[in-house]
Amino acid sequence: MSSMNGMGMDSASSPIFRPYNQTLARGYWYIIGGVVAFLLLLRGIEYYQIWARLRRVRTRKSMLYPTKVDDLPMQVFATATAITRELSYPQPHPGGWLSFFRPLSSGRAIVIACYWAIIAYMLTDRAIVNDAYYWERVGFRGAWISVTQVPLVYLLASKSSFIGFIIGTSHERLNWLHRWVSRTLLVSVTVHGFFFMAEWVKANFVTLELSMMPVVKYGLVAWGLLVWTFFTSLSPMRRLAYEFFVLQHIVTSAVFLWVLYIHVPSYARYNIWFAIGALLLDRAVRIVLLLIRNIRIRRAKSCGATQKIGHQVELQASCSEIVVITIKDVHLSWKAGQHMYLWLPRLGPLESHPFTIASPYKKAEECHCNQIQFAVRVQSGFSKRIHRYAMKTQETGNSLTGFIAGPYGTPPSWEAYESLILISASTGASFAMPILESILASRTTICTQRIHFLLAVRKRSHIDFYVQRLNTALSHAEARGIELKVEIAITSDASSFVESEESDKSIDDEKHLQPEHVVENLGEEKIVESKQDKEETMIHVDSISASSLTSSRRTAPVVSKCCCDNGEGPSGIESSRQIVYSYQRPDIATFIRGPVEATGGETSVAVCGGKSLVATVRNAVASLSDERAVHKGTGAQGIHLHVEEYCF
């Protein structure tokens, strides 16, 4: 029996195994590098396509359908893209007592299947040979494959992601891959430990091995930390105490690297140093950005800034379940769809939480002293403390000092699509509203000709923060010649996908309300009743209620005395277009089909909501794309999908 050390890498027979295993380790990173390079190439082609569309609009060529593909190379790319989208968009969503389960979309499942195939090949190639070294050979192979994956786990977890920077995506869109690579790492580590332990058991060598080689104990601790991380990272566990999950996850990741460094032999520790470097670089970049965003050497008196360190934060509870957070005097730019991390030391000394930026970025010639607003849905923990503090200090004033980090996120170029469909649930409107407003306020060339906006909420009070902005958007769209349709679905408890982070009931078990539509129009009031197939439908055309206007004014952004303020408040022009209110669960497939069939070019669908809403939109887009045979000779153009999902 050979003497074994740590991961088995210093055994007497290790020179027999090491060369080919090192070759496999290099091959692993060649594959990762090749995939990143391929994604970078695709990103470049996409940027060229967007540039070409905007150029056609500027030069007055193909003005009818500026996003329609008209040359052979781009048609080939568009066809390949359409096939990939149809394969990757569908996502199952179980209901009932399985509603907590979050199945991967088909695209992500394909990626993970390919990754597992690579890992399985590396674990077994030239290792499954029935000889005296069988158990040690497989255990040794598992050790190499495991330690090789460690840097990728930490690279994918970085908020200042190097991989994301190269391929043009953001850290939150890589987080799912971080979790699954970590789970794959747990499997390969288990294979490594199991085969060595099995060999020791067969030789009755366990007690002697543990006494002779203390580093083995560190390996067992590392495996235990991975098991702990796996169970605490499951969705039900994260939701029990999210703040605790984040803190222990950070501590566990650091301790894991320490015990792994002791366990791994010196000639393989470069993988651990790689992971440590990724972790330290991420922390260093985040600290630098935190200082830049929150420390001002000179006070900008013209913008009314009064703090050198941090930002003035105001809280306003618009209803019992929504709180609006306003960050004053922010000197930075952002894009619609991005998010920031907020740290309020008084309410959460060790907590920093991400929130989508609910306010649009306003450009100015001389300075940028915008306000950033977050519309936060009250859950538990941090958001509950914020709401409680806002309610407690509503009358006396509740100014706090807060610190921000970001912005994070890499949203698409929304102006490059002919039709834009925005679907959101509850505070998901914080993602959709700035996109709508940025398109309408854009001073550059855009391809957008129509926008359809759908907001699903349980209660009317949840829309108070958005209703005045939506009416203003209708006026701006009419003035600009963009077709804008806005629908707000007030579902009460009828929809399982309105806020699925709180209610995971099956759609089949929902209580559907009687179909009813309310269209708001100034100065008119009438009720029309019709009976068709023995089902009554009531259409109510009414004036805007005083309560809605009052609430909208109460939660409207406060106008700051700032040199950037150009006096552009809510538009005083009344629009002939109307907000449509429906009191039933919206038909997502029908809502998407209308603008897609009216579009001669490419359509973008953006959705922000819970897992049920996201799965419904994914399946509807995939089904419609397949039905219309997009880019397969029918003339139907592409349907792009961008997903922002509640994840906690």
Q: What pLDDT sits at residue 224?
A: 95
Query: How many other CB atoms are there within 10 angstroms of residue 79's CB atom?
Result: 16
The answer to whether the beta carbons of residues 155 and 33 sit under 8 Å apart is no
pLDDT over threshold 60, residue 43: yes
Q: What pLDDT sits at residue 269?
A: 92
CATH number for the domain that contains residue 353: 2.40.30.10
Instruction: Specify if 297 maps to a domain.
Output: no
Instruction: Specify if 96 maps to a domain.
Output: no
What confidence tier does 569 reach under pLDDT thresholds 50, 70, 90? very low
List CB contacts of 288: < 8 A, sequence separation 6 or more: none
| Torsion angle of C-alpha atoms 376, 380, 381, 386, degrees rounded to 10 | 40
Instruction: Specify if 298 maps to a domain.
Output: no
Which two tokens mark 186?
Answer: 């747990």
Give the tens place of pLDDT for each residue, 99-126: 667 788 999 999 999 999 999 999 999 8
For the chain, how are helix, strand and coil distributed in percent, rounded to 5? Answer: 50, 15, 35
Instruction: Specify if 532 maps to a domain.
Output: yes
Domain membership of residue 480 as a residue range: 414-645
- Looking at the structure, do residues 400 and 444 belong to the same domain, yes or no? no
Could you give the CA distance from residue 138 to residue 17 in angstroms, rounded to a whole number? 10
Give the Å distances, CA to CA, from 236 to 232, 613, 648: 9, 19, 9
Could you give the CA distance from residue 513 to residue 482 in angstroms, rounded to a whole number? 33
How many domains are there within the chain?
3
- Looking at the structure, do residues 316 and 244 belong to the same domain, yes or no? no
Domain boundary among 384, 408, 432: 408
Report the candidate in 309, 405, 364 with the shortest Cα–Cα distance to residue 562: 364
CATH number for the domain that contains residue 543: 3.40.50.80
- Looking at the structure, do residues 328 and 469 belong to the same domain, yes or no? no
What confidence tier does 60 reach under pLDDT thresholds 50, 70, 90? low
- Looking at the structure, do residues 528 and 581 belong to the same domain, yes or no? yes
Instruction: Specify if 116 maps to a domain.
Output: yes
- Looking at the structure, do residues 320 and 206 belong to the same domain, yes or no? no
State if pTM tops 0.85: no
What confidence tier does 536 reach under pLDDT thresholds 50, 70, 90? very low
Q: What pLDDT sits at residue 29?
A: 93
